[in-house]
Amino acid sequence: MLKNKMKIKNFRIILISIVFLNFSLFANAKPVPESFADLAEKLMPSVVYISTTQTVVTNVNPFPFEFPPGSPFEDMFKEFGTPQKRKASALGSGFIIDATGIVITNNHVIKGAEDIMVRVEGDKEYKAKVLGSDPLSDIAVLKIESKEKLIPVKFGDSDKARIGDWVIAIGNPFGLGGTVTAGIISARNRDIGMSRYEDFIQTDASINVGNSGGPLFDMNGDVIGINTAILGREGSIGIGFAIPSNSAKKVIDQLIEFGETKRGWLGVRIQVVTKEIADVEKLDKPRGALVASVADNSPSDKAGIKAGDIILEFNGVLINEMKELPKIVAQTEVGKTVEVKVWRNGKEISKKIKLGRLETSEDFKIKKPKETKDTEIDSLKINVRPIEKKDIEERDLTKNTKGLVITKIANDSPINYLEKGNIIIEAQKKTIKTIGDLELAVKAALQSSEKTLLLVIYNNQNQRRYIGVKLN
């Protein structure tokens, strides 16, 4: 009986502790806003509504009748019909960041515009000029002239924004100015395939066509994002994306000062470090960014960076994922000398690199190859042939390029994600000159404990890529 009483007492103590703990958790949580009215009223004068016009030329059928869909005449008159000019308009949003009339919006809102009108507080309209725009980040800076006192907003620290935090969006969806929507931050660091510098904030606050360029506010009334994209074509489905303020501000500062961006440039093409590649390179885990190729006379080339190096650290910042590196490099001052730590031949080494400027750099040329007769490689379930002189000439490769051109890939091949025309130039860190070289490399990989084959290829854009293949 005594034992039962003790058990009951202990149970009560535990239960009370749990209740207290739960109470403490709720006590520390931020309360749900009773209303957004005061905040919205304060911020709305700083949000603007943008309309643009541009001349569009289309070819019009000169005949008083239509051709059936798919008719060759339909295509002919699309190309050779009577040119006709018309004015096209577009709508967007923006916000004031300086009382002198500096307005921020998306680049795609004003791209190609001949006239840009900015409406402030619903009825005051001003003509705007573009101070600078950046397609890579989709940011544009406008300037309006006004004798009225303009009310700016300030940027907040987007790095402190957390998943679950309340946010509000104000904008001009479908031309309905002064629209306020609320939601939470649904996710951070989203990559949706728009550009190399993506790091979007995802929100479920309703964002629609016309919201582009408008602000995403935190509960302090600070701008933590620029609303840029939505998932879905028909309208909001609760998945919208905003450029983080910390990323945007650096671009904006450059556009205001120079009228253009000045991004740092390493001069390398990079790819993800897979588990297979990490195993072959004797790296503790998949991390960093694998250097697939190095541009001639680029900052990396001059500093001694080589294809196959894995960049682990840039200017004191650890690179955990490949996608982190382009953003960090781009935000670093052009001409600055930085320390880069790379993994090479099983050990870490350091290199000093003086950054170039991305905007003035040259990209790699794009050529497409042709196919000829081939030989099957059973273990890889691909067909290859030796590279020929015409391949080198057509693709503008270096004269001494050696390798095997992939001409066929089976659906169940372990490298079925590659494309016909890709060129295998190395296997297990050895140059591939003949089909026999590749067969020997495959055989050696199959006999190893890891059963992993490390290939180096040129893809159909002549970009050097590393491929880790797990063999059965």
Helix or strand run (H / E) with residue 223 = strand 223-230
What whole-number percentage of the chain has pLDDT above 70?
A: 83
pLDDT band at 366 (very low <50, low <70, confident <90, very high): very low
The one-letter code for the residue type at 253 is D
Residue 469 and residue 472: Cα distance in Å, rounded?
10
Question: Is pLDDT of 2 > 60?
Answer: no
8 Å CB contact between 289 and 311: yes
Question: Is pLDDT of 13 > 60?
Answer: no
Catalytic status, residue 138: yes
Residues 424-447, mean pLDDT to the nearest whole number: 91
**Reported pTM:** 0.68
If 0-12 CB within 10 Å is exposed, 13-18 middle and 19+ buried, where does residue 199 land? middle
Query: Quick one: pLDDT at residue 21?
Result: 39
Per-residue pLDDT tens over the stretch 39-75: 999 999 999 999 998 876 665 555 555 545 555 555 5
pLDDT band at 234 (very low <50, low <70, confident <90, very high): low
| Domain boundaries for CATH 2.40.10.10 within the chain | 45-144, 158-258
Residue 167 and residue 358: Cα distance in Å, rounded?
34
Question: Is pLDDT of 84 > 70?
Answer: no
Top-confidence residue, 10 or 21: 10
CATH superfamily of 45-144: Trypsin-like serine proteases (2.40.10.10)
Query: Quick one: pLDDT at residue 14?
Result: 38
Query: Quick one: pLDDT at residue 168?
Result: 95
Residue 463 and residue 436: Cα distance in Å, rounded?
24
Catalytic status, residue 137: no
What whole-number percentage of the chain has pLDDT above 90?
A: 62
CATH of 265-360, one of 2.60.40.2890, 3.30.70.20, 1.20.272.10, 2.30.42.10: 2.30.42.10
Please choose, from the candidates 314, 282, 267, the residue with its C-alpha nearest in 3D space to the C-alpha of residue 429: 282
Q: What do you get for the CA distance between the two ends of the chain, in Å?
A: 65
Query: Quick one: pLDDT at residue 106?
Result: 95
Residue with tokens 């309006």: 144
158-258 maps to which CATH number?
2.40.10.10
Residues 113-118, mean pLDDT to the nearest whole number: 91
Question: Is pLDDT of 122 > 90?
Answer: no
Question: Is pLDDT of 450 > 80?
Answer: yes
Please choose, from the candidates 188, 179, 185, the residue with its C-alpha nearest in 3D space to the C-alpha of residue 208: 179
> What backbone torsions phi and psi does residue 436 show, to the nearest 5 degrees?
-60, -35
Buried b or exposed e, range 247-269, using 16+ CB within 10 angstroms: bbbbbbebbbeeeebbbbbbbbb
| Domain boundaries for CATH 2.30.42.10 within the chain | 265-360, 375-470
Catalytic status, residue 199: no
Q: What is the DSSP string of 34-94?
A: S-SHHHHHHHGGGEEEEEEEEEEEEEE--SSSPPPTT-HHHHHHHHHSEEEEEEEEEEEEE
Q: What is the mean pLDDT of the chain?
A: 85
CATH superfamily of 375-470: PDZ domain (2.30.42.10)
* Residue of 133, 134, 138, 309 marked active site: 138
Per-residue pLDDT tens over the stretch 257-292: 999 999 999 999 999 999 999 999 999 999 999 999
Residue 177 and residue 133: Cα distance in Å, rounded?
24
What contacts 22, CB < 8 A, 6 or more positions away?
Answer: none
Residue 315 and residue 327: Cα distance in Å, rounded?
13
* Residue of 46, 51, 93, 108 marked active site: 108
Residue 41 and residue 267: Cα distance in Å, rounded?
48
Per-residue pLDDT tens over the stretch 451-460: 899 999 999 9
Point out which residues pair with 290 in neighbouring strands. Answer: 271, 310
